[in-house]
Structure 1
Amino acid sequence: MLVRVLLACALALCAALASADDFGVTPPAAPVERWGTLEVALAGPSDGNPFVDVELSAVFRQGARSIAATGFYDGDGHYKIRFMPDAVGQWTYETRSNRPALHGKQGSFTVVQPAPGNHGPVAVRNKFHFGYGDGTPFWQVGTTSYAWIHQGDALQEQTLRTLAGAPFNKIRMAIFPNNDDKAGTLRFPFAGTPPRNWDLERFDVAFWRNLDKRVAQLRALGIEADLILFHPYDKGKWGFDRLPAAANDRYLRYAVARLAAYRNVWWSMANEFDFVTEKRMDDWDHYFQLVQAADPYDHLRSIHNAFRLYNHTKPWVTHVSIQHGAATLDPERAVLYRDVYEKPVVYDEVKYEGDFTRRWGQLTPEEMVLRFWNGAIAGSYVGHGEAYQDPQGMVWLAKGGTLRGKSPARLAFFRKILSDSPLEGLEPIDKWQDHPFAGKHGEYYLGYFNRERPTNWPFVLFKTGLADGMNFRAEVIDTWNMTVTPVPGTFEIKKRDDYTYADKDGRGIALPGRPYMALRIVRVR
């Protein structure tokens, strides 16, 4: 009897669901975590050209709030709308389309608390810094591998394994391939036949599915995907650097529709934008505004230069992305761009560690690490790159694979020092004088002595936030040998002059006379 009752209930439920679907109501989706990705999959027309003929979007609602997201065609009559919910609880959605088969579809889903490791998308925090959606600080320690997604599957997987054991929490990567005769490119963003026979009104969904997959894998590793939308390295081979205006806009809208619902996405309008000779400055303004308008989640947006700087004060730019080989040679130089733009500054390219034939790929590991520390003391952020020569062309900067340099281990140590800080970002302590400290006045100080080889440092702090009788403890950090050595006892300060406080007994801290040393000083209450 019980079995018959359960069977009847099951049949009734199936009938109800079928009836609901007939009226455009989809059964509730599986729960999705906050800042996860919900994917609404729909079957629709495949005749004509769905990439340009079909319009699809959905409005997602929770109470009085509503967020609109654009859908996209994924080939073979399959349509998708992706959504990244930002709050737990019940949500509903309803589709909008110019095709009846896709219009008015309704559904509901539950958003649950994020899983461990899901801190939400990164955004600007406290004017000059970054933080995740849940309030966790984001200490950017990025790297670059432009064409890693254009290699074969085995090499892409090897790159991901390398990243899983590396210190980097952001990777700069290009959507379009480079002009490289040895490249492993198998698929392209547009449908067609290489090198130049492209159908600019259709996309190669196999390429985009692989990109989706790789961005999702980076997300699982806790790595931000800084997606470079244009670059000058085509040089006419594929023609992607000189597409018609309508094709550029269509490409950008498709990229945003597919990828914006991944919480780890950043948008870089271009790498070395000023070398893309086919585009004017107002074109770049237009691309920024298009991406900003199409992205319902307001992901981070910037643009990377060669020689000519973009005006990063424009409102659609969230942070500064700079190539500058000399700006991070000392903190007083690195801080200047912060003062000009009043936004977070990321020195995404400061030259590369390696033995490359070009001068931009000849940094020693020590020089690479030094630039990270100087950038941090300036209250800014620095990016890593590696360019060791290889007879097979396996250069991390270009293709990914494995890392060969000595800087990543030191950058892991550097990142731990930053993440152990009680702060949400380092602020310069006294940027107008040779005083190499950052942190928070009166509370926390991180100092870096660059190439200097001091044997003693007199315990002297800049005056802001200080008072007689405050006590501090100190640690000596060897940034190259990756050691932290506590200094015995504490230091009690008193006013020394109009600008500084010093240890009341005139004591200092002994240092080993080696370069790349640092100090961490914390107030004792």
Structure 2
Amino acid sequence: MTVAQPATEQYKVFEINLTGTSQGNPYEDVVLSASFFNALTGEKMTVNGFYRGQGRYSIRFMPAAIGEWSYVTHANDSTLDGVSGSFVCVLARGNNHGRVMLATDVQRGTVLVTGEEENLSYRFSYEDGTPYQPYGTTCYAWTNQSEDVQEETLKTLAQAPFNKIRMCVFPKFYDFNTADPEMFAYEGSMEQGFDHRRFHEPFFENLDHRIAQLDALGIEADIILLHPYDKPEWGFSDMGADDDMFYLSYIARRYAAYKNVWWSFANEYDLMPQKSKEDWRRYARVVMANDPYNHLRSIHNCRILFDYNESWITHCSIQRIDVTRTTECVSDWRKQFHKPVIVDEPGYEGDIYWGWGNLTAQEETRRFWEGVLRGGYVTHGEVYIDKGEQLWWAHGGKLHGESPSRIGFLRSIMAEAPADVVPIRETPYASEDYWDVTVMTSGEDWRLFYFGFNASLYRDMVLPENGEYTVDVIDTWNMTIDRLPGTYHGKAHVDLGRKQYMAVRICKVA
């Protein structure tokens, strides 16, 4: 049987929907895939399919190359085998830039100047070459809330500065988050137990819908596959390695074709001692075998860092492990792992009794500036218990804090920075003049200084003699930028007003 399909936009999901047997347990018994071929480029790709209940099957494919794609299915069920068809992939439009990838993978094969490859190793890029800087937030269990809360979360995200969200598949049982969800990922019940070999289609249809909605907002879904915050009636954190791998295979087959998906294998992996380091490596191999698009992969810690040098890990996803040094550690982690560093849990703005969740908005913002100017990326969270039962960090809903707008301000400033900015301490331009301040630089043409919680009356900025420079005084809390009159060389006297959280930007104009 041959089926003609309508055109699909580059990097979007093309889906083959089929009807086959519902006898036995098709989740286990039926093996389904499709081979795709692009006549224009000669590209070939095989994609595994998945069962979705009631005799329904799907294969999802994300075309990266334009032109006509043909396909044929392969299955051990004769009604699913040998289905062929074709569709045309058209150019991406608007804000569709494809997957987020390591910048080194996007630039592979291009000629780079000396030092550029090392710089790229700490960066991300969309598939089409557009730079990507993650400014994330955390809503662990938002898709396990009521439909009203989920819709409210999306409305909030549409107005927020975040372009990545950390989110779980399984529900979370922890302080301030103890309610049972309306739906679970598996068939069964808390009273009679869950069948870890049969998935609950309505649960996953909702997850499909929410990931697609995030994509429409330009937000990457950093999907936390496993976590320790469970209860005995659920039992999802300790299903055993075989059931874990069965679940991971299904998740990868179902969601790998979404361009905005990242894989986070665990939140706080070290709080699940029943899973060994080799288990995590096996889990990574399972996901990679079912993800032909090579989405970004990492694993998140509580107290003990994972070895992010392991080859299956694309980037660092780190919870701060020191009470006082948080995003300041980005400099050390870059040197240790030589990969992009995301401090996914630097501590949260809020007022709970745990130290990780009672930062002031000023301190949350400071940690963002400190981490970003050290060449890393930082993720936001919010936990205000005096604003109602919904805590953003767990449930989503509404944001109440003051840091998100300041994070958006930082994002806008970094979006205007030259593409090759690096922490100055990693360049030949470092000097004793900058020992007490965090600085990013693009050679001698552009520099951004951040003074953090220090409160200087003024600073005499040392500038190169061979050029003219503008000087901007940035109040990162009040979100103002004041340019000093004229241009400068050699030195500029900058009034900082004895205020904390100030920054100075210097740009060469001649």
TM-score (norm 2): 0.91
Q: Return the offset for 1:510.
A: 2.2
The partner residue of 1:488 within 477, 485, 488 is 485
For 2:20, the equivalent position in structure 1 comes to 44
The partner residue of 2:2 within 6, 25, 28 is 25
Q: Return the offset for 1:457.
A: 2.0
Q: Secondary structure at the residue paired with 2:2?
A: coil
Give the Cα separation in 1 of the matches to 2:324 and 2:375: 11
For 2:59, the equivalent position in structure 1 comes to 81
Q: Does 1:177 align with 2:175?
A: no
Q: Return the offset for 1:435.
A: 4.0
Range with bigger deviation, 79-88 or 187-196? 187-196
The partner residue of 1:352 within 339, 345, 348 is 348
For 1:301, the equivalent position in structure 2 comes to 297
For 1:167, the equivalent position in structure 2 comes to 161
For 2:110, the equivalent position in structure 1 comes to none
Q: Secondary structure at the residue paired with 2:414?
A: helix
Q: Does 1:225 align with 2:203?
A: no
Q: Is the 8 A contact 2:320 2:327 kept in 1?
A: no
The amino acid of 2:400's aligned partner reads R
Q: Is the 8 A contact 1:182 1:393 kept in 2?
A: no
The amino acid of 2:43's aligned partner reads R
For 1:18, the equivalent position in structure 2 comes to none
Give the Cα separation in 1 of the matches to 2:402 and 2:235: 37
The partner residue of 1:122 within 93, 97, 100 is 100
For 1:523, the equivalent position in structure 2 comes to 508
Task: Report Cα offsets for 1:227-253 as digits up to 9, x if no partner.
Answer: 000000004341111112221111001
Q: Secondary structure at the residue paired with 1:187?
A: coil
The amino acid of 2:353's aligned partner reads T
Task: Report Cα offsets for 1:336-383 as digits up to 9, x if no partner.
Answer: 101100000000001110000212111000000000000011100111
Q: Return the offset for 1:156.
A: 0.5
Q: Does 1:145 align with 2:139?
A: yes
Q: Is the 8 A contact 2:437 2:451 kept in 1?
A: no
For 2:10, the equivalent position in structure 1 comes to 34
Give the Cα separation in 2 of the matches to 1:375 and 1:416: 16
The amino acid of 1:44's aligned partner reads G
Q: Return the offset for 1:430.
A: 2.1
For 2:406, the equivalent position in structure 1 comes to 410
Q: Does 1:445 align with 2:447?
A: yes
Q: Secondary structure at the residue paired with 1:242?
A: coil
Q: Return the offset for 1:456.
A: 2.1
Q: Does 1:69 align with 2:47?
A: yes
Give the Cα separation in 2 of the matches to 1:313 and 1:325: 18
For 2:71, the equivalent position in structure 1 comes to 93
The amino acid of 2:266's aligned partner reads A
The partner residue of 1:113 within 91, 94, 105 is 91
Give the Cα separation in 1 of the matches to 2:368 and 2:211: 25
Q: Is the 8 A contact 2:418 2:442 kept in 1?
A: no
Give the Cα separation in 2 of the matches to 1:192 and 1:104: 34
Give the Cα separation in 2 of the matches to 1:323 and 1:40: 40
Q: Is the 8 A contact 2:144 2:171 kept in 1?
A: yes
How has the CA–CA distance of structure 1 residues 328 and 40 changed in structure 2, closer, same or farther, with 3 Å as cutoff? farther
Give the Cα separation in 2 of the matches to 1:332 and 1:193: 46
TM-score (norm 1): 0.89
Percent of matched pairs sharing the same residue: 43
How has the CA–CA distance of structure 1 residues 351 and 332 changed in structure 2, closer, same or farther, with 3 Å as cutoff? closer
Give the Cα separation in 2 of the matches to 1:166 and 1:114: 25
Q: Is the 8 A contact 1:196 1:238 kept in 2?
A: no
Q: Is the 8 A contact 1:167 1:408 kept in 2?
A: yes
The partner residue of 1:60 within 36, 43, 46 is 36
Q: Return the offset for 1:334.
A: 2.6
For 2:332, the equivalent position in structure 1 comes to 336
How has the CA–CA distance of structure 1 residues 331 and 231 changed in structure 2, closer, same or farther, with 3 Å as cutoff? closer
For 1:251, the equivalent position in structure 2 comes to 247
Q: Secondary structure at the residue paired with 2:121?
A: coil
For 1:374, the equivalent position in structure 2 comes to 370
For 1:274, the equivalent position in structure 2 comes to 270
Give the Cα separation in 2 of the matches to 1:204 and 1:483: 50
Task: Report Cα offsets for 1:167-223 as digits up to 9, x if no partner.
Answer: 110000000111267425111111111256111111001111110100000000000
The amino acid of 1:404's aligned partner reads H
The structure with the larger Rg is 1
Q: Return the offset for 1:307.
A: 0.7
How has the CA–CA distance of structure 1 residues 193 and 511 changed in structure 2, closer, same or farther, with 3 Å as cutoff? same
Q: Is the 8 A contact 1:151 1:184 kept in 2?
A: no
Q: Does 1:394 align with 2:372?
A: no
Q: Is the 8 A contact 1:140 1:169 kept in 2?
A: yes
Give the Cα separation in 2 of the matches to 1:484 and 1:162: 27
How has the CA–CA distance of structure 1 residues 196 and 382 changed in structure 2, closer, same or farther, with 3 Å as cutoff? farther
Q: Is the 8 A contact 1:328 1:375 kept in 2?
A: no
The amino acid of 2:133's aligned partner reads W
How has the CA–CA distance of structure 1 residues 258 and 332 changed in structure 2, closer, same or farther, with 3 Å as cutoff? closer
Q: Return the offset for 1:323.
A: 0.2
Q: Secondary structure at the residue paired with 1:48?
A: coil
Q: Does 1:133 align with 2:111?
A: no
Q: Return the offset for 1:470.
A: 2.5
Q: Return the offset for 1:455.
A: 2.4
Q: Does 1:203 align with 2:199?
A: yes
Q: Secondary structure at the residue paired with 2:69?
A: strand
Give the Cα separation in 2 of the matches to 1:346 and 1:421: 19
The amino acid of 1:472's aligned partner reads Y
Task: Report Cα offsets for 1:140-159 as digits up to 9, x if no partner.
Answer: 11000111100111110001
Q: Is the 8 A contact 1:353 1:362 kept in 2?
A: yes
How many residues matched? 483
Give the Cα separation in 1 of the matches to 2:231 and 2:316: 26
Q: Secondary structure at the residue paired with 1:160?
A: helix
Q: Secondary structure at the residue paired with 2:132?
A: coil
The partner residue of 1:476 within 470, 473, 477 is 473
Q: Return the offset for 1:333.
A: 3.5
The amino acid of 1:272's aligned partner reads E
Give unpaired runs (5+ residues) of structure 1.
1-23, 493-502
Q: Return the offset for 1:507.
A: 3.4
Range with bigger deviation, 318-327 or 86-95? 318-327
Give the Cα separation in 1 of the matches to 2:37 and 2:322: 49
Cα RMSD, aligned residues only: 1.7
Q: Return the offset for 1:277.
A: 2.3
The amino acid of 1:164's aligned partner reads A
The amino acid of 2:442's aligned partner reads K
